[in-house]
Chain A
Amino acid sequence: MEEGGYRSWAYCSGGAHTPARDLSGPEEDANAAGLLAGYNGRSSSSMGLPSLDFDTPPGLQIAAGSPGPLVRLSGQWTALALARSRARGGVTTRLASLRGNTSAQWDLSAVVRMDHVGGQALWRVWGRKMPERVTLTDTQRDIFARIALLETHREEPEPVERINPVTALGHGIFSFADHVYGGIALFGRVVLDALSVLRRPASAPWTEISANIYNAGAKALPITALVAFLIGVVLSYLSAQELLLFGANQYIVNILGLAVIRELGPVLSAILVAGRSGSAITAQIGVMRVTEELDAMRVMGIPHGLRIVLPRVVALAVAMPLLVMWTNIVALTGGALAAQVVLGIDVPYFMRALPKVVPIANLYIGLAKGATFGILIALVACHFGFRIKPNSQSLGTGTTSAVVTSITVVILADAVFAIAFQNVGI
């Protein structure tokens, strides 16, 4: 047997090894023969290919013959060559037309190289068995023998379980209930942990809390300032257009003051923090699960609640009111500047009028909202973080759900605040 016999790629390494080669035919074959001569020129021990030569496309010649057509293949029948040939509408379509033609005579001896992919393309056309009349080199025979051998052992893939819409709805309801249950359990855990810390303050995770306040609060100052300033300017400018119509210019202070301090400041900073810190918390805990850090902590007897959840909840509960205050100040500054430009209300008047027209209760409500929103964001983010499974998709969906859910929960809580304090401060 030729040395190439065990190789996946069938080199036609010489006329002596390729029994039936009557290449008296068309030019395409002559071309392939020329290439073969090139390969034969190399020493037989180094059957190397000319480097990176993938430029001999697979060729297919159909000649009339009796009883069936004579099909001659040439060139490279490899995955790469076939894919490139398909892109140009090459041999594959003509090959498909030969499907089920049992009388055809096949000559593969002019094929320069063949891999299992090329072999399988032919094998399908042949109807998963060797055709009666075929000319092969030994290496090609090996490839087809392997394809046939491996096919006999095959079990089909287990079908993926499909879920019908009714079941999916049921799953959805159970999963929602599970999330609610998990969220409440997590909240209960945090309360218990907080109580135990109150009893023994030395056990509090001070370092973690401080690091989280810095990350979620201090580092969020620039972005919240930018957004708050622009929102203040926009709100003030748009309100001014309406107020000018009624000549009620000085009411800009009431509108801006109440809207920003009671509503926009807390909600705006909560949305920014949910996007910024909420996603970070989920991703961080998710990666800790993937890298088994969470399991390592549990094995060492370090409680997740005390070291991971509590610091983040406390940190956001502390950082959020501060951020709300910061957002209020910057948004009102922006609003006051815009009011000066559009309505001619000067900034000192704005500052003096503000405490008179906006009761201080609104500020307290706003700060309380901030703390509540912070706690909710941290809880939701931790909840989703612990549910991440070790694959890339789960990390992505987990982070997205965390952000979307925490913003939704924040708006819900805001509605509760609005109803509960409807008689306060207005």
Chain B
Amino acid sequence: MTAPLSAAVRDRPPPVIAETVIEVRDLTKRYGTNVVHEHLDFDVRRGEIVSIVGGSGSGKTTLVRQILGLEQPTSGSIFVFGEDTSMIDPHAARLMRSRVGMLFQQGALFSSLSVFDNVAQPLRELGRVPRALLHDIVLLKLEMVGLPCKHASKMPAALSGGMIKRVGIARALALEPELLFLDEPTAGLDPQSSEEFVELIATLHRALGLTVVMVTHDLETMAALSTRVAVMADRKVLVAAPIEEAAGVEHPFIREFFLGRRGRRALQALPPERRAKLPPAALVSASAEVPL
């Protein structure tokens, strides 16, 4: 299921990294006595693919949910497209929602609607769209994400994991947002589907000039796509830098995450010019055998 689009964008340059679109300043988030974020700063610039990584429970998804406005920060401010999300009026918030898309971890497809209606829903929400045009728009989105249009009449329960994620992306892209959030995009996919999905995101990133923020545990996906990696630990973003620089930062979590065997394997697969910048510890051999 390779999108026909990927051949068309292969010789294109990646989007130019431009102005800041997400700006998180001095964010603190508490649940009762449990502090998730403390004085956290985080930036995303237009055209980037930023991966948010961190241990389980380090607040990656919470951070994304706060940026999306699904949860309120305890203190601090979040600017999306230069607007403070806590001050924004409902009308402007609606407009902003149409510039942001999100793919949830399990797809979050509307289980009682067919694939077609799932993708058409955000458009129908805008007002009446002529049937024929809606049909064209939805099928184009499905083609864009490499899902054969014959599946459009299926119900989400009849789709495989990889297809659910594709429909999720198509639905997120229905209004052609500038900013796309992905929560664990390759979790639960087989290696082949993961590979195809990574290619799809790279293709859409180029074709549509998207800005992508993804939460992921998958080191290979992260190494293949990210322009920057934001590492979360100690309730804040420790470092947000290209992966080869982030791997060199001295911190226990980073050492475990990037310089463990899986981390080294992913880092060693980077292209040579980026591999040259890696710290020597990352280049120690990482054989697949488990030492006991």
Contact = CB atoms under 8 A, between A and B. Distances in A.
B127 A8 contact: no
Interface residues of B, number: 56
A279 B174 CA distance: 37
Contacts of A84: 126-127
Interface in A1-31: 3, 5-9
A147 B176 CA distance: 14
B157 A157 contact: no
Interface residues of A, number: 46
Contact of A116 (B83, B116, B176): B176
A117 interface: yes
B254 interface: no
15 contacts: A7-B209, A52-B92, A52-B99, A83-B123, A117-B175, A120-B137, A146-B144, A149-B4, A150-B5, A157-B116, A157-B151, A391-B112, A391-B155, A391-B156, A393-B111
A154 B3 CA distance: 12
Contacts of A117: 123, 137, 175-176
The 8 closest A-B pairs by CB, nearest first: A391-B111, A393-B112, A157-B152, A83-B126, A7-B209, A150-B143, A115-B176, A8-B208
A177 interface: no
B81 interface: yes
A87 B127 contact: yes
Interface string A86-124: 110000000000000000000000000001110011011
A78 interface: yes
Interface of B: 4-5, 8-9, 12-13, 15-16, 18-19, 21, 46, 81-83, 92, 95-96, 98-99, 110-112, 114, 116, 123, 126-129, 132-133, 136-137, 139-141, 143-144, 148-157, 174-176, 206-209
Nearest to B123: A79
A121 B13 CA distance: 28
Interface stretch (A42-50, A211-219, A266-274): A42-50
Interface in A145-175: 145-147, 149-151, 153-160
A80 B126 contact: yes
A6 B156 CA distance: 32
Given A78-B176, A390-B111, A155 B148 contact: yes
A30 B53 CA distance: 49
B8 A146 contact: yes
B150 A155 contact: yes
